[in-house]
Every structure is written in structure tokens, then in C-alpha cells.
Structure 1
Amino acid sequence: MKKIKLLRTIVAPIYWFVLCWYRSIFGYSQQEKWVYQNENNKLSNNSFPKIIWIYWDSAERNFLVERCISQVRKLCPDYDITILNRKNVIEYVDLSKINYELTQATLSDYIRLALLRKYGGVWMDASVFLLQDLFWVEKNIKNFSTLLFYTDLCTLDQNNPVCESWFIAAKKNNDFINDWFLEFELCVTSSNPYLYYKDYFNKKDIIQKIPNTDYLMIYVAAEIVKSKKKYDIVYLNSKSTGHYYNYKFCANGWFIARNLLFKDKRKVYNPKLIKFTSDIRDYINKYLEKGNYDINSVVGSSGFNKGSSFDEK
């Protein structure tokens, strides 16, 4: 038995490395999969607020996040862009019910739903790197109240995909966002938010393949409210866009950095946007901090003022 485990330990990294090389040479599916739920033509007259919300609260400078925010400003000049942190967020959101012992990720989840409930607009994580403007959002949300990405990995029912929360576009007075917020608020204001959804772990008919009910509580909250009521939502699969490179290269930071920092951007796939997860973000940030990248690469070619960090609004 020990020999089998040892063999797996040796073989697994080799397998994933070979798979990444194969996909690097022969490509990977770029097919976008859209899901349109309960389209409502009456919503076409409801204006979509051209507001972008970004929250970043870190004492350490992050060169990748600075480039991400620079891209937003460059590609979305017609949007009102607000950069928030723990100090100025209270000007926009009431956090009086929140226990500040919550993790940064959970606090950020609460903030995004509270902002979209009150103001509408676009929430995007600070580690989202835009490669296009947001016209595609404005076009697709026209007859819907909400546009977001879904997780290919956690979705069993392709007609009712599992929501992700790193990019959400929403109109004001939005039933789905309101109900999602209220459900999630019950969780985060409970005596133990991280055990609040433990009874849903095996309820695959509701949460499908969400793996961590003690971490992805915002995902669970969305699926709970969707199981009780129909909403007008448009989804795009993250595998073809935000998480394309994570799927293609099995979340291998070296391969992702190689394609986005050291290859000419004209020779690699440029999705609408790229979502950098925390482990990959740290990996790429080290290269950027050292100035080790190709200026013609996807990330390296982004316009950026090297002398300063981003400013709050």
C-alpha cells in the first residue's frame, strides 16, 4: 500500500506536467457556454448602472492588482469606478451587523452583495484582469436583472448552473441580489458562519458539487435562494473566460505565468477577462515585482504607472 502511494506521489506531478505541455502545444477549448434563465423583455427598459465596485484591503503592495485596476480604468472610462477598502467602505455599506473576526474573503463577499443590492452596477474582484471593455455585459444583461459566471467544475445541472461571485453585474431593485444578500446575511451574522451550511453538504440537488460549505458560503447561499424561486439571470461559463488558464493548465502557476507574462499576447488566447486566484496571483506578482516579464505579453503590455500604487476614489 505504501508503495502504491509513493508511486502516485511520483507519477501524479509528471502526469499533470505532461498534460499542461500537451495543452500548451495543441490548445484547449475556448467555447463559451451561455445560459439564459427566465428572460424578461420588460427589463429592457431598466437601465444598467455604469458603476464598477472593487474592494482591496492589504497593507502590502500588489503589482498584479495594480495592473488589474489600471486595466479597468483604461478600458472602462465611461464607468464610475470606486476602489474600496476597510476604511472607506463604511461610506457605502452598513457593516454594523458584521463580526470583524470574519475572514477577509467572507467580509468581501458580504460587501459585494450589499453594494449591488443598494446601488447595482458591476462587482469585480481586484484580481480580475480585463481584456475587453464591458459592452458584452451591457448587451447580454439587457433582458435580465443579473449577469454572472458559473463554475463548470461544480455544476451538475447545465440548465441551472452554480453561480460564482468574483464578477457580478446587476441592475438596481434586483430580486435575486436582494434575496441572495438576505440569505447570506443570515449566515454571516450567525454564531458560527463557517458551520452554518454544514447540513447542505450532501444536498446535491441544491448545491450540486460545491465542495466547501465552510468556505464557499456565498455560493451555497445563491443556490439555496435559486432552489426556492425563479430569477432572470444570464450566466457565462468561467472555463471559457475568467478561469480559462486555470482549467487549461490545471492551476499550474509556472505554465500560466509562461503564457501570460512571457509570450506575445497575439500568440495566446485573449478571453474577455482573466480571474487570478490567490495562489496564481502570488506567483505572477513575484515576476512583476522583479520586472521579469515580456512587455508584449498579455499582462506585461498593460498600461501602468510604475511609480505609484492605485488611488482610492
Structure 2
Amino acid sequence: MSEINYLVRRNRIMLLVAKVLRRSHTPQKINEVFNTYRHSKITLYIENNFSDTIKKYDVLGKTHSKDEKEESIIWIFWWQGLENAPPLVRACIQSVIRNAKDYKVIIISQKTVHKYSDISEIIYAKLIEKKISLTHFSDILRFNLLKNHGGIWMDATIYTHHEIEKKVHIDFFTVSGFNDREFFNISRGKWTGFLIGGEKNQVLFSFMDEMFKKYWEKENELVDYFLIDYLLDIAYKKNIGSFRTYIKNNDNTQPNMFELQNRISDSWDEKEFIRLTEKTNFFKLSYKKKNRMSKDSSNTFYDYLIKRV
């Protein structure tokens, strides 16, 4: 059994244990210690196997050339095309288009992905072979797009309620503001990979793009679903492209980012919606979870979002 095979199988078991610990209300400290150990194994593997690329970018700070004519773009990806997206995904994308104001919204699909990206053919081959999932491919794609064009990446399941201000992605942009006391995710709520952006040619974006390329040149299996965050954590610790500096100065907190999903099947409550959107503009939803349409005369939050399309 190869190192990656062993690590993937071991990590699946440890992730299952971490989920059980979290759901069983185990004391926070135990969760934190266990997850610290779990994360360290993945990080050690990455650092040992891709040290040359890490060292290459470790010496680079905030060095990128600004383009005054750079377009303000919001990137959204749906492989099958918007016309084939589930209702909630369409509602989310329409909410972004509705509030984009000065941004150009570009929806990337299977038909247009080559037009905007220069991703390695090795990665495309492994996508076709199903060694790379579409979910992970989107992780790779976002940093390739940001490296080449700049802008903001938004997952197709981001719902936005207010106008998106153009200034949000000056230099660098991500959101935070949610607690992860158990250290379940390596990011610990300091950033989000599903909502991230900045100017093109950022050192951070080039680092992420090259790390994904080097990873898939070497491996045929994904070490962890959240590889994106493990790579960003390495960039954070080493301040690659001034990433740690950006994060420490980041005030783009979205305290209710996950709360709308928790209420999506609840009866519609306008006062509650106003409360949720008062200090939060970006909401992470999921089309995979059961979101019911109301069968009676009463509406749900899901109904409200779908009917706005």
C-alpha cells in the first residue's frame, strides 16, 4: 500500500471519529486535541512531498503587478450549465446577478471552462477518469481563474441579499466570523475557500494553482476533501503572498453565514430574515440537503428564495 493510499484510508477513519466526537458533545478540549493531531498528519504529508514548491513561494511576499484596467468579475461554476442547475442553485446565482452592480458575472460551465483557464491537461485527464471529482475540480479552477483574471470566486450555493460593493475585493477578499471551537476544519473559520478573491497575479493564487498542479502530477487520489484549506493553512503559516497579513486585517465578518441554511425549511418569517441579513450579506446554502417546498398555504424560507428567481 502506497503512502497516499494509507493516509487516505486512515484519514477517513479519523474524520469519522471527529464527527462522532462533535455530535456526541464531547468536551471541547478533547475535540481540539484530536483534531490538531488529525490535521498535523495531512499537513506533514503535504510539507514532506511538496517542499520544493512551498520553499519557492515561501520567499515571496506581496509581489504582484496591478492592472488598472482589470475587470471586476464574479466567477461562478456549474459544470452542467445554469439551465440544468437545481432550483436552489439557480436562486443563488440569480441573487448574485441581481446584486452584482459593477461586477461582471461569468458562469463557467463544461462548455466554457477552457476559454478562461489554463489548467493542466493532467488534471483534465484525471477529471475524465473520475480520479478528480467536480467538487475538487472547482477548488482547482477557482485559483486558476483568480491567478489569471482576478475577481471574486463564489460557490454556486452562495446566496446574497444586499448589493455587492465593488471595493470588497481590493487586493484580497474572503469572509470569516464563524466559530470553530473544536478545530474541526483546519481554517478554524479564519477564511473560506468558497468565497475568495482579489487582484490577478497574486502570489497566493499562483501558489495554490501550482500546488494543485504538482499534487495531481504525483497522486491519483485526493488525500482529503479539504485539501484546499490545508494548502491555504500552509500559506497562512508562512505568510505566502501576505496571506496571514490579509487575514489578520480582515474585517469581512459574516456572523450568520450558515444560519439561513439551518432555517431553510422553517416557515417564512420576515422579521427573522431581516435579522439574519442585517449584518450578513453572504449565505452558504446546500442543494444536497433536503429543502422542502411547503405543501400547504404557509411558505418556507426555501419557498421565498426559489420564488425570487
The question of a shared fold, defined as TM-score above 0.5 by the shorter chain, is answered with yes
Partners of 1:49 and 1:154 in 2: CA distance:
38
Q: Distance in 1 between matches of 2:235 and 2:252?
A: 20
Partners of 2:296 and 2:66 in 1: CA distance: 46
Change (3 A) 1:83 1:225: same
How far residue 103 of structure 1 moved from its aligned partner, in angstroms, is 0.8
Shift of 1:97: 2.4
Which of residues 122, 139, 149 in structure 2 aligns to 1:97? Answer: 122
Is structure 2 residue 282 aligned with structure 1 residue 273? yes
- Which structure 1 residue ranges, 5 or more long, are not aligned? 1-7, 14-39, 196-213, 247-252, 306-313
Deviation at 1:57, TM superposition (A): 2.2
How many pairs align?
233
Q: Give, in whole Å, the separation in 2 of the partners of 1:291 and 1:87.
A: 40
Distance across 2 between alignment mates of 1:48 and 1:65: 28
Q: Deviations over 1:194-233 (max 9, x none)?
A: 23xxxxxxxxxxxxxxxxxx11001011111232335152
Instruction: Specify the SS of the correspondent of 1:81.
Output: strand
Q: Which of 293, 296, 299 lines up with 1:294 in the alignment? A: 299
> Structure 1 CA distance, aligned partners of 2:67 and 2:79?
36
Decide whether the 8 Å contact of 2:260 with 2:276 is kept in 1.
no
Shift of 1:277: 3.3
Which structure 2 residues correspond to residues 1-313 of structure 1 after superposition, within 5 A?
A: 49-58=71-80, 61-95=85-119, 96-98=121-123, 99-100=126-127, 101=130, 102-135=132-165, 138-142=166-170, 145-150=171-176, 152-153=179-180, 162-195=190-223, 214-230=224-240, 231=242, 233-234=246-247, 235=250, 240-245=255-260, 253=262, 255-258=263-266, 262-264=268-270, 267-270=274-277, 271-279=280-288, 282-284=289-291, 286-287=292-293, 294=299, 300=304, 304-305=308-309
Q: CA RMSD in A?
A: 3.9
Cα 1:49–1:264, aligned 2, differ >3 Å: closer, same or farther? same
The structure in which a higher percent of residues are helix is 2
Give 2:122's aligned amino acid: K
| Greater share of strand | 1
* Whole-angstrom CA distance in 1 between matches of 2:135 and 2:225: 9
Match of 2:43 in 1: none
Q: 1:116–1:177: 8 Å Cα contact kept in structure 2?
A: yes
Aligned mates of 2:116, 2:281 — CA distance in 1: 29
TM-score by length of 2: 0.62
Tell me the TM-score normalized by structure 1: 0.61
Q: Any conservation in 2 of the 1:293–1:300 contact (CA below 8 Å)? A: no
Alpha-carbon offset, residue 193 of structure 1: 4.0
Task: Confirm or deny: 8 A CA contact 1:68 1:129 kept in the other structure.
Answer: yes
Segment of structure 1 superposing worse, 67-76 or 50-59: 50-59
Of residues 180-189 and 217-226 in structure 1, the stretch that sits farther from structure 2 once superposed is: 180-189
